[in-house]
Chains A and B, each alone.
Chain A
Amino acid sequence: MKSPVEQDAVARSRVRVDILLIAAACVAFVGAVFIPGLRLAKTLSNDAAALKFVSEQRRYSLAIQSAVAAVQDRLDSGGYVQTPIDQLRRDAQALTEATNRMGAAQAIGWFDAPTETTALADADVKASVTALAAEWSAYRRRLQPLFEFQGIPYFDSESAGTHLNPAGRRLAEATTSALRAAREAIPKIDADFNGIGDALQKSSAAAASTLSLVMLLGLLLAATMVALGIMLQLGRQRQEEAVLEAKRQADSIFRTMKEGLFLLDRDLVIGAAHSAAMRDLFKRDDVAGLTFEDLLKDIVPAKTLATAMKFVRVLWTERTNENLVKSINPLGEVEVHFPGESGSAAPQYLEFDFHRVRSGTDISHILVSVSDASARVALGHELKAAQDQSQSQIDTLLGLLRVDPKQLASFLGDSDVALQMVNSILREPAREESAFRKKVDSIFRQVHAVKGEAAAIGLTTIEDRAHRFEEDLRALREKGDLSGNDFLPLIVKLDDLFTHLQSIRDLVAKLSRLQQAAAPAAERGAPASAAAPTDVDSMLKQLAEKVGHENGKAARVESAGLEALPNAYRRLVKDIAVQAVRNAVMHGIETPQARRAAGKDPCGLIRIEVEPQGADGFRLSIEDDGQGLSTQKIVATAMQRGLVSADEAPTLGPKQALRLLFRAGFSTYDKSTKDAGRGVGMNLIANLVQEAGGRIGVSTAPGKFTRFTVNLPVLQSAGKNHEAA
Chain B
Amino acid sequence: MSEGPNVLKMLIVDDSNIIRRRIERSQQIDRLEVVGAAANGVEAVELFRRTGADVVTMDLTMPEMDGIECVTELVRIRPDVLILVISALADKATAVEAIERGANGFLCKPFTDRQLNGALEELLAGR
Q: Is the interface of A mostly helix, strand, loop or mixed?
A: mixed
Contact of A252 among B72, B76, B92, B104 (CB under 8 A): B104
B residues in contact with A256, CB < 8 Å:
105-107, 119, 122
A253-B105 Cα distance, complex, nearest whole Å: 5
A687 proximal to B (CB < 8 A): no
* A251→B126 contact, CB < 8 A: yes
**Given A248-B127, A371-B92, does the pair A253, B104 have CB atoms closer than 8 Å?**
yes
Q: Mark A1-27, 1 if CB is under 8 A from B, else 0.
A: 111000100000000000000000000
**Given A256-B119, A257-B106, does the pair A249, B95 have CB atoms closer than 8 Å?**
no
* A252→B122 contact, CB < 8 A: yes
Total number of B residues with any Cβ neighbor in A under 8 Å = 23
A residues in contact with B96, CB < 8 Å:
259, 353, 355, 369
Q: Mark A316-355, 1 if CB is under 8 A from B, else 0.
A: 0000000000000000000000000000000000000101
B102 proximal to A (CB < 8 A): yes
* B100→A252 contact, CB < 8 A: no
B123 proximal to A (CB < 8 A): yes
A residues in contact with B72, CB < 8 Å:
2
B1 proximal to A (CB < 8 A): no
B108 proximal to A (CB < 8 A): yes
Q: Which of B80-94 contact A (CB under 8 A)?
A: 90, 92
B47 proximal to A (CB < 8 A): no
B110 proximal to A (CB < 8 A): no
A371-B93 Cα distance, complex, nearest whole Å: 10
A585-B78 Cα distance, complex, nearest whole Å: 84
B65 proximal to A (CB < 8 A): no
* A259→B125 contact, CB < 8 A: no
B residues in contact with A249, CB < 8 Å:
104, 126
* B106→A2 contact, CB < 8 A: no
Contact of A253 among B76, B90, B106, B125 (CB under 8 A): B106
B residues in contact with A258, CB < 8 Å:
90, 95, 108
A residues in contact with B108, CB < 8 Å:
258
B75 proximal to A (CB < 8 A): yes
A255 proximal to B (CB < 8 A): yes
Q: Which of A189-214 contact B (CB under 8 A)?
A: none
B residues in contact with A7, CB < 8 Å:
79
Q: Which of A350-376 contact B (CB under 8 A)?
A: 353, 355, 369, 371
> How near does chain A come to B86, taking the closest CB pair, in angstroms?
11
**Nearest-CB residue, chain A, relative to B123:** A252
B residues in contact with A252, CB < 8 Å:
104-105, 122-123, 125-126
B34 proximal to A (CB < 8 A): no
* B126→A248 contact, CB < 8 A: yes
> How near does chain A come to B119, taking the closest CB pair, in angstroms?
6
Contact of A259 among B92, B105, B119, B126 (CB under 8 A): B92
A154-B60 Cα distance, complex, nearest whole Å: 132
Q: Mark B46-84, 1 if CB is under 8 A from A, else 0.
A: 000000000000000000000000001001100100000
Known: A252-B105, A252-B126. 17 other contacts (CB 8 A): A1-B79, A2-B72, A2-B79, A3-B101, A3-B102, A249-B104, A249-B126, A251-B126, A253-B99, A253-B104, A255-B122, A256-B107, A258-B90, A258-B95, A259-B92, A259-B95, A353-B92
Question: Which 9 residue pairs of A and B lie closest in terms of their CB atoms, listed nearest first?
Answer: A252-B126, A2-B75, A2-B102, A259-B92, A248-B126, A256-B105, A3-B102, A371-B92, A252-B122
12 residue pairs bridging A and B, Cβ less than 8 Å apart:
A2-B72, A2-B79, A251-B126, A252-B125, A252-B126, A253-B104, A256-B105, A256-B106, A258-B95, A258-B108, A259-B92, A369-B96
